[in-house]
Amino acid sequence: MLSRLKKKIYEDYIKLAITVQKMEKDYLKMMKNKYKLLNDSLLWQNACNNRIQSIIGHTLINILGLDNVPLHWVKAHEGDFNRISSYLEELDYIAKKFIEENILLIILKNGGIARGIYPCPGCCPMGDLDVLVEKKHFLKAHQVLLYHGYHFEFRSPLEEPDIKVAEKSGGAEYWKILANGNKLWFELQWRAVAGRWIRPEQEPSAKDLMGRSMSVSGTTVRILSPEDNLLQVSLHTAKHSYVRAPGIRLHTDVDRIVRYQLIDWNVFLKYVLDLQVKTAVYFSLIIPKALFGTPIPNEILVRLKPPVWKEKLISSWLKKAGLFNPDERKFGKLRYLLFNILLYDDLNGLWKAVFPDRMWMKERYGFKNNLLLPAYYIGRLKDLLFRRIS
């Protein structure tokens, strides 16, 4: 068991090593000297615990030179490079098949970063690809995936394997064994975030996102505009409570988008304020700024900052949970529930999230009689309180 001080030394090195790759001589020299003071086995163990072996591996290759890096780091990076490259090749193929059916596809989150923003696929470890289509194209896209060898199946046993139910909820999951033997999980969504605690009107519509999206050169794949991209990964990070799996790796998404894309911060701020997600986005920005020095303007953080009591309480819970080791238990059931409640900007927003309007409830749950509305509200409340709390 590592002492608290020793643990901090390794975590501090990891924070430096997973920031955007730097090639300045002073940085390389500093990282090389720090590495010499570490036990490589313990660094490897920490990297594995945080699912970032390939990222650390790339950094060590830059620092030490390929011939001087222990083989396990080289293999980790090569493995993820080949695996993610095969995912992106499949993505290009599916996007082309979608476009033949007049379906535009946006690749989200880490997949979008790997495909159109960050230069090294090996430093973008991920377990699946998440894509966004307009709701009107959802069922047709489902058929295209089945035709091209995908199996419709949810990873979670809590999900109902019915495509009509999946369409109502916002997304479906599929898997396929690629030519190189890799298994790819593919998430098809018409909701950009699809969190249970996110109000329907808080999510930007797929249609609007499509209209502002950008093409990836040489492909039919599209990625979100820089402002939409930053907002989407910020909400996704909040959806994972900032500390749950994949843990610290989540925060590299914000860092890479801010460093590699030109953000119009006034436009971004307007989107956040319009959707009433100041609190959730604030912590998604302040954490990578603290971890990696992500260049997020202070004036933006000031505009998003929640009340002092709320900031202190959420910060203390995050500190206790820890940003490292995402497979550890982070929250008890009650604290997890309260944590999600605190991410709302106000009580009115929370009320609307728990009890959406009648039309949304009818569409989501598939009933017509208004007299059934109270029963479905009770069912929704039970779902929010008890489903997937872990």
| Res 350: pLDDT | 67
**Quick one: average pLDDT of 232-241?**
92
Instruction: Write down the pLDDT at residue 20.
Output: 66
32-46, 90-104, 192-206, 285-299: least confidently modelled range: 192-206
Q: What is the pLDDT of residue 197?
A: 54
The predicted pLDDT at position 7 comes to 86
pLDDT at residue 148, as a whole number: 98
Give the pTM.
0.89
Question: Each residue of 101-154: pLDDT tens digit?
Answer: 999 999 999 999 999 999 999 999 998 999 999 999 999 999 999 999 999 999
pLDDT surpasses 60 at 81: yes
Let me know how many helices (H) and strands (E) the chain has, helices first.
19, 7
List the single range of 31-45, 82-96, 99-113, 351-365 with lowest mean pLDDT. Answer: 351-365
What domains can be seen in the chain, in order of their start residue? 1-69 (no CATH), 82-223 (3.30.460), 225-327 (no CATH), 355-386 (no CATH)
* pLDDT tens sequence across 357-370: 777 677 777 788 87
Give the pLDDT confidence score for residue 202 in this predicted structure. Answer: 67
pLDDT value at residue 143: 98
The per-residue pLDDT of the chain, averaged, comes to: 90
pLDDT at 389: 36
What is the mean pLDDT of the segment spanning 33-51?
95
Confidence of residue 351 (pLDDT cuts 50, 70, 90): low
Query: Residue 260 in contact with residue 295, Cβ under 8 Å?
Result: no
List CB contacts of 288: < 8 A, sequence separation 6 or more: 251, 252, 254, 255, 258, 294, 296
Which helix (H) or strand (E) element contains residue 79?
helix 71-100
Neighbours of 346 (CB within 10 A): 10
Q: 4 Cβ partners below 8 Å, 6+ apart?
A: none
- Position 175 pLDDT exceeds 60: yes
pLDDT in tens, 243-258: 999 989 999 999 999 9
Q: pLDDT, tens digit, for every residue of 266-321?
A: 999 999 998 889 999 999 999 999 999 999 999 999 999 999 999 999 999 999 99
Percentage of residues in the chain with pLDDT exceeding 90?
Answer: 70
Residue 106: beta bridge partners?
132, 222
DSSP bridge partners of 174? 152, 186
pLDDT of residue 388: 46
Residue scoring higher pLDDT (362 or 97): 97
Phi, psi of 185 (to 5 degrees): -95, 135
What percent of the chain shows pLDDT beyond 70?
A: 92
